[in-house]
Structure 1
Amino acid sequence: MRSHAIHYLILPGWQGSPAEHWQSHWQRSLPDASRAEQRDWQTPQRADWVATLERHIVAAPGRLILVAHSLGCVTLAHWAAQAAPALLAKVKGALLVAPADVERPGCPAELQNFAPMPTQLLPFPSLLVGSDNDPAATPARALELARQWGAEPVLLAGAGHINVKSGHCRWEQGFAYLYRLQNLIEQHARRLA
């Protein structure tokens, strides 16, 4: 796959992705990448976040790969569950990193309006990267979300929430999962050909 034919849309989670977060590094490193900028990073509202994502997808040039983290994964799944087929067709695949389980006990109140978690299959290839010690989703829950969304699961050992706090600033190793997703996209395209 020629990367220049793809636009990468970065979907941060709650409180956004600061400059030292791997999503910000990827945005600076990937060819043709942008970020879905939410109006309110601190008190997210599901309808607003989904509408913002839709506006970015409408405006994006050509084919898209979505790179979501935490609440960004949940926003993506909510969007895909109600999006028009023409917009869904623009998305060639999604990398879902450390999805936040908004139904978990002790979930911050600010995130609870994103419940219930969407359970529909995503209509494009996806790869879900979770961790066996992520406070935002148990390993079993991450695997369940991957199954429900039809994503290929990857469970990392001791990676936490795969963010700055867990030591994932540049997260160069994550590019291997992006490459794996691109292989899934190519396999999917060959099956449809």
Structure 2
Amino acid sequence: MKSSDVDILIVPGWSGSGPDHWQSRWETRLKTARRVEQADWYKPSRHVWADEIVKAVRSATRPVVLVGHSAGCSAIAFAAEHLHPGEVAGAFLVAPASERAKGAVPGMGPDFIAHRREKLPFPSVLIASATDPYCTPDEARALAEAWGSEFVEAGDSGHLNSESGHGPWPDGLLRFAGFLKSLSVVSQKVNQ
């Protein structure tokens, strides 16, 4: 698959990924990308955020690929329990926030803190930094295992956001292109 073959749904975390964040840049650069908007970026609620993702998926006109960052990864996992098989082609999950980190955020809904730890019903890759202050490599690996995600360590990269120097994040865009290509291979195997 290429980016033009899919609807790319950008799922930011707490605070909504500002204009310099790689998610915002991808949203502008990739013509089939759009942001899943939330009513309040500073008060994540499990059901509200998951419902918005499900609505966005169901309004898509092409296969859907979800692109989550930080608490957006959790929101995708919460939404997954309400999605039907085949509604999402894959998920690209970056720098998930640990339960420890989410619990320290003012305004975080109590229902949002604990992770859903069931296998996602679609292929996924989870990219995590060795130096993320919001999620240790062990915490990220445990989430990747629970979600059935391929785990990729991104080295000394902080929280993989604009504050850690990942505004445009060209390496991430290359990884995303590789992920889309892998979804084509999976799709071809399923259809044979």
- TM-score normalised by the shorter chain: which range applies? over 0.9
Q: Is 1:185 equivalent to 2:179 in the alignment?
A: no
Written as runs of structure 1 = structure 2, the 5 A alignment for 1:134-153 is 134-153=132-151
Which shows bigger deviation, 124-133 or 176-185?
176-185
**Conservation of the 8 A alpha-carbon contact between 1:131 and 1:159:** yes
Where 1:173 maps in the other structure, the secondary structure is: helix
Quick one: distance in 1 between partners of 2:47 and 2:40?
12
Structure 1's unaligned 5+ residue stretches are none
Deviation of the 1:76 alpha carbon: 0.2
Count of aligned residue pairs for this structure pair: 190
**Conservation of the 8 A alpha-carbon contact between 2:88 and 2:122:** yes
User: Displaced runs of 4+ in structure 1, greater than 3 A?
Assistant: 103-106
Q: Closer, same or farther in 2 for the Cα pair 1:2/1:170, shift >3 Å?
A: closer
Quick one: distance in 2 between partners of 1:106 and 1:153?
24
TM normalised by structure 2 equals 0.92
Where 1:95 maps in the other structure, the secondary structure is: strand
Q: Is 1:167 equivalent to 2:175 in the alignment?
A: no
Quick one: distance in 2 between partners of 1:140 and 1:30?
32
Match of 2:82 in 1: 83
Q: Is 1:60 equivalent to 2:56 in the alignment?
A: no
**Conservation of the 8 A alpha-carbon contact between 2:126 and 2:149:** yes
Which shows bigger deviation, 179-188 or 118-127?
179-188
Among 91, 94, 99, the residue aligned to 1:94: 91
Deviation of the 1:105 alpha carbon: 8.6
Deviation of the 1:100 alpha carbon: 0.7
Written as runs of structure 1 = structure 2, the 5 A alignment for 1:124-139 is 124-139=122-137
Where 1:181 maps in the other structure, the secondary structure is: helix
- What is the aligned-residue identity percentage? 36
Q: Which amino acid aligns with 2:82?
A: A
Q: Deviations over 1:4-62 (max 9, x none)?
A: 22111100000001111100100011121100010001111111111111111111212
**Conservation of the 8 A alpha-carbon contact between 2:3 and 2:180:** no
TM normalised by structure 1 equals 0.92
Quick one: distance in 1 between partners of 2:186 and 2:119?
15
Deviation of the 1:156 alpha carbon: 1.3
Q: Is 1:18 equivalent to 2:18 in the alignment?
A: yes
Which shows bigger deviation, 109-118 or 155-164?
109-118
**Conservation of the 8 A alpha-carbon contact between 1:103 and 1:117:** no
Quick one: distance in 1 between partners of 2:34 and 2:153?
27
**Conservation of the 8 A alpha-carbon contact between 1:125 and 1:184:** no
Q: Deviations over 1:137-162 (max 9, x none)?
A: 11001011111111111111110110
RMSD: 1.6
Q: Deviations over 1:84-140 (max 9, x none)?
A: 42xx41211110000111245963243343132111111111111100011111100
Q: Is 1:38 equivalent to 2:35 in the alignment?
A: no
